[in-house]
Amino acid sequence: MEGPIEKIYSLPIVLLFLIGAVLSAFLFYSMMKSAEAGNLLMVILLAIAISIVALVIGQAIKFQQLKKL
């Protein structure tokens, strides 16, 4: 049985970039809305969420590139 991380790692690279870009854009938009509202805690949490998305996408692409070798 595949877990959720293995499913993400098996997606094509173009799809990974697309999902990462859409997720990051949504999180960044939400972060700007929270900043306008003056909610510092949500700004910090959303910044951490953006970095986690970038880390997971980067690890998935690295895994696929190493698998090709």
pLDDT in tens, 4-60: 777 777 888 899 899 999 999 999 999 999 999 999 999 999 999 999 999 999 998
Centroid of chain to Cα 46: 11
CA distance 40 to 10: 36
pLDDT at 9: 78
Sorted by where each begins, the domain ranges of the chain are 27-64
CA distance 65 to 67: 5
